[in-house]
Amino acid sequence: MGWVRSLAGPLELEARRGYTDVAVIGMSIGAYAREWARRAGEAVGAAHCDEICRALADYGACDARGREKRASEALRLLGSLDGGARQTERRGLVTEVPRQRQALRQQATEATEPRDGRGKPLPNDGGVVSGLEVPERQNELKRLGTDSTSPRLRGAGVPRQPAGLLDAPVGGERKSPPAWTKRVALLGIETNRDLLYYFPRDYVPLKTLSELADGERAAVVVEAVEREESVVREGRGFRLMRFALDVTDGTGRAWVTSIARVPRRGARAAAIMGSPLALNYEPGTRLLIEGTVKRAGRFIEISYAGSERAEMSESLAPGRLLPIYPLTDGVYQNHIRPGVRRLLAELPDDLPDPLPLSLRERHGLLPLSQALRDMHLPPSEEAKNAATRRLAFEELLTLQAALAQRKREQQQPGTGIAMRPRGDLVAILEEVLPFSLTRAQQRVISEIIADMSSDQAMYRLLQGDVGSGKTVVAAAALMVALQNGYQGALMAPTELLAEQHYLVLSKMLEPLGVQVELLTGSMRAQERQRALHRVATGHAQVVVGTHALIQEAVEFHQLGLVVVDEQHRFGVRQRASLRSKGRQPDTLVMTATPIPRTLALTLYGDLEISVLDEMPPGRQTINTSWLSLSHQREAYEFVRGQVSAGRQAYIVCPLIEESENLQAEAATKLAEHLQQEVFADLRVGLLHGGMKVAEKGSAMEAFRSGELQVLTTTTVIEVGVDVPNATVMLIVNAERFGLAQLHQLRGRVGRGAHESHCILLSDRRHDPTGRITPAGDETLEGVRRRLRVMIQESDGFKIAEEDLLLRGPGEFYGTRQHGLPDFRLARMARELGVLEEAREAAFWLVERDPELCAQEHGALRQQVAALRARMDSVAG
């Protein structure tokens, strides 16, 4: 793996950018090195890492010369280490080493320094740093001067100082930056690059006055002729004033009008009279006006919605689209637009492009500078689409290339364990199970068997809606490992779920002579010690547990398969640390959060994907109803009816996300209320996340055995809990839950033979009839949309799609695992069908040039490395 590269890359970039500490986005080199050392420590050796880290510790605080010295020193240390690190990284693979070394050597000779036409190594991008080359490169950099604008570099065909322009602060390097820069900082825009990559959310067409139609919203570029102001009404302490500006553009004339309530005196009055709203423009000023058009024949009035001064030189010809940027409080379009336009005018045509020319040609993509221009100020709808496509392609290609590299590193042939099944697994399982497997389960099992049989490590994601029967599939995979003399581990996010899996798997596998062990954080020391011993000696063949599995004390005899349930609750790093307990074990991660295919490729592009797209037979759809809280009595009566018919019910208490204590308290109160006042004659239990493990276990057991009829609970039962006799899921204040949560909760019922029900109780403001909700209240409307989706949809995939649309991917998944961009472009590009194309291109590229070291991949390599660093550091 490229540990050396991952630090050498940024350091080289620093050299090219004149040691401005910009190589790692959002982080100083010093901090990046610490992060790097933490990750690389094991592979490279902690002492070396420390030394390198020390060399760079005060990087941010140094001047350029100091930084140069530190970077060279770090590169030297990295160079001396490179050869050794390769061996250490692969230690443990004793038998494989000779073959690997040979392959490495071959790789190294193939990937020679990029050369220019005269056969001299080029100084820029795409260099391979290996131990031998570092000192040489250092000298070369010195000889050439590190300033990338130096004439020699320019001669060598290196793009002119674009980095300088893009990384400069918006508004230029000035003592007192223009006022608008403070406003756009509120949007996170600090550098020119930030500004250029801050894309419009919409556009309005620029028109001539003669083209305007009655009622439309439009933008025009005009010249001010004459201004009038009049008082519409005299109020107490204020005047209602009307401003009108006569404007022309050569095709016609129009009045731009606005109305303002102006205090009679004071600073506020002056501020309004001096603001664009007062239309105080000198005759002859060139203006960009936006507004709503009223037209009767040749008489045109535009009611003012915004205006800016426009320079004569600016390309604001009619027919262009005017960008509308997403804003926040106190930031207006005219804080962003003029700056963008000025910057676009300065933009060189040969901006270094992360997409190499050959690739752009193959996929019909615009060069970067043109794409940026057309994104912000498109001459036409087509130009805008082409620009969107190009920029989305770049975003996705970068991500997919990062994933492709990761996948390649994970799946070196010959490094995994080849495990072959003995006998017909499906038949063996069906013998111990009271049901036969669905076709989907059989298909997925054979996909897994194929992976496990190969000598590449398996990395597979199993997606299946709640209740689709993933546990059986996991059991089959575990059996393959056991048949080959390996152990299997299954990690679950909560103790409750771990215990549940333990029970199910013991029941399934113990008849086949398999020892299953449970390992959780709350076990008593002695008990735990014994369990650890059984795992370390190999007496326990399957180990089920929580995060406790990844603690240091846990050692396996011979771990061959890792299964992670509810994958989205874990980070990449946790997955990796469980894997590190074995020697390249196969890995199966499972998730019940259905992921639309497009997003699955985006988020899990480094995994193979299997889908359980069929429910076990006999599952009924769950009757879902939605009542206002004022009808809760009816809901409780319904519960009583079900209980007297012998069924059981969950009652989920309102979600309090802010505090586990408050949540526990709320659940306890609700349970008391239910037991004492509502269901005095029934047996009501309580289960919440704050309870001790033993208490949780016994509550769950009491509910499972039917001793408890009603279980008052929280989202702790969201995942995995399986009590087939429970037929009612009553959710109080359902409006506080997200769609995914509601779907998971609903999935707890409908698991047996009986008809099942989900009742959503919501605050009366979200009254399902819609009579009480004030029209136009967006948050209330949002809640009602969400609850309506629950009523109308039972398919988890559709619900996930809706969720995605309602919340956007960032919130949908949290950024915890990925640290990825917000995919705004990717979303736009969904309709443009870019994702698959970019994915293929990225995998193709990485197959041919795994480390992206060809010269034409230089800019892309930097971008991918930065993203990977971000993904790795956020993960976990």
Residues found near ligand ADP in the complex (CB under 6 A): 435, 437-438, 441, 464, 466-472, 592, 616, 722, 751
Q: What DSSP state is assigned to residue 531?
A: H
Q: Are 273 and 266 in contact (CB under 8 A)?
A: no
Secondary-structure breakdown of the chain: helix, strand, coil percentages, each rounded to the nearest 5: 50, 15, 35
Map tokens 């893009």 to a residue. 166
At closest approach, how far in Å is the CB of 872 from ligand ADP?
A: 29
| The pair of three-digit structure tokens given for residue 77, joined into one six-digit string | 């240390």
Total residues binding Mg ion (CB under 5 A): 1
Q: How many residues are recorded in the chain?
A: 876
Map tokens 């193709």 to a residue. 844
Q: 567 CB contacts (<8 Å, ≥6 apart)?
A: 461, 575, 589, 590, 591
At closest approach, how far in Å is the CB of 725 from ligand ADP?
A: 11
464 binds, among Mg ion, ligand ADP, none (CB under 5 to 8 A by kind): ligand ADP
If the CB atoms of residues 751 and 839 are measured against ligand ADP, the closer one turns out to be 751
Select the residue whose beta carbon is closest to Mg ion and give its number: 720
If the CB atoms of residues 378 and 594 are measured against ligand ADP, the closer one turns out to be 594
469 binds, among ligand ADP, Mg ion, none (CB under 5 to 8 A by kind): ligand ADP
At closest approach, how far in Å is the CB of 852 from ligand ADP?
A: 39
Q: 644 CB contacts (<8 Å, ≥6 apart)?
A: none
678 binds, among Mg ion, ligand ADP, none (CB under 5 to 8 A by kind): none
If the CB atoms of residues 186 and 433 are measured against ligand ADP, the closer one turns out to be 433
At closest approach, how far in Å is the CB of 456 from ligand ADP?
A: 26
Query: Which of 31, 729, 874, 839 lies closest to 398 in space, CA to CA?
Result: 839
Query: Which of 354, 348, 351, 447 lies closest to 394 in space, CA to CA?
Result: 354
At closest approach, how far in Å is the CB of 442 from ligand ADP?
A: 9
If the CB atoms of residues 470 and 870 are measured against ligand ADP, the closer one turns out to be 470
Interhelix angle 133-144/64-89, rounded to 10 degrees, is 160
If the CB atoms of residues 352 and 720 are measured against Mg ion, the closer one turns out to be 720
Amino acid, single-letter form, for residue 279: L
Q: Are 439 and 392 in contact (CB under 8 A)?
A: no
Q: 612 CB contacts (<8 Å, ≥6 apart)?
A: 438, 440, 441, 444, 462, 463, 464, 465, 468, 469, 470, 473
Q: 533 CB contacts (<8 Å, ≥6 apart)?
A: 539
Query: Which of 185, 6, 155, 32 lies closest to 873 in space, CA to CA?
Result: 32
At closest approach, how far in Å is the CB of 149 from ligand ADP?
A: 59
Q: What secondary structure does DSSP assign to 343-405, as a single string?
A: HHHH--TT---SS-HHHHHHHT---HHHHHHHHHS-SSHHHHHHHHHHHHHHHHHHHHHHHHH
At closest approach, how far in Å is the CB of 462 from Mg ion?
A: 10
Q: Are 796 and 611 in contact (CB under 8 A)?
A: no
If the CB atoms of residues 469 and 768 are measured against ligand ADP, the closer one turns out to be 469
Cα(635)–Cα(678) distance, rounded to whole angstroms? 11
At closest approach, how far in Å is the CB of 463 from ligand ADP?
A: 10
If the CB atoms of residues 545 and 858 are measured against Mg ion, the closer one turns out to be 545
At closest approach, how far in Å is the CB of 747 from ligand ADP?
A: 7
| Partners of residue 115 on adjacent β-strands | 121
At closest approach, how far in Å is the CB of 816 from ligand ADP?
A: 22
At closest approach, how far in Å is the CB of 592 from ligand ADP?
A: 5
If the CB atoms of residues 490 and 655 are measured against Mg ion, the closer one turns out to be 490
Q: Cα–Cα–Cα angle for 406, 407, 409, nearest 5°?
A: 65
722 binds, among ligand ADP, Mg ion, none (CB under 5 to 8 A by kind): ligand ADP
Q: Are 240 and 232 in contact (CB under 8 A)?
A: yes
Select the residue whose beta carbon is closest to ligand ADP and give its number: 469
438 binds, among ligand ADP, Mg ion, none (CB under 5 to 8 A by kind): ligand ADP
Query: Which of 492, 490, 477, 491 lies closest to 417 in space, CA to CA?
Result: 477
642 binds, among Mg ion, ligand ADP, none (CB under 5 to 8 A by kind): none
If the CB atoms of residues 437 and 531 are measured against ligand ADP, the closer one turns out to be 437
Query: Which of 339, 389, 327, 314 lies closest to 195 in space, CA to CA?
Result: 339
Amino acid, single-letter form, for residue 837: E
148 binds, among Mg ion, ligand ADP, none (CB under 5 to 8 A by kind): none
Residues 710-729 that bind Mg ion (CB under 5 A): 720
Q: Are 478 and 563 in contact (CB under 8 A)?
A: yes
At closest approach, how far in Å is the CB of 619 from ligand ADP?
A: 8
At closest approach, how far in Å is the CB of 355 from ligand ADP?
A: 41
378 binds, among ligand ADP, Mg ion, none (CB under 5 to 8 A by kind): none
466 binds, among Mg ion, ligand ADP, none (CB under 5 to 8 A by kind): ligand ADP
166 binds, among Mg ion, ligand ADP, none (CB under 5 to 8 A by kind): none
If the CB atoms of residues 704 and 818 are measured against ligand ADP, the closer one turns out to be 704
If the CB atoms of residues 360 and 748 are measured against ligand ADP, the closer one turns out to be 748
If the CB atoms of residues 70 and 751 are measured against ligand ADP, the closer one turns out to be 751
If the CB atoms of residues 49 and 472 are measured against ligand ADP, the closer one turns out to be 472
Binding site for Mg ion (CB under 5 A): 720
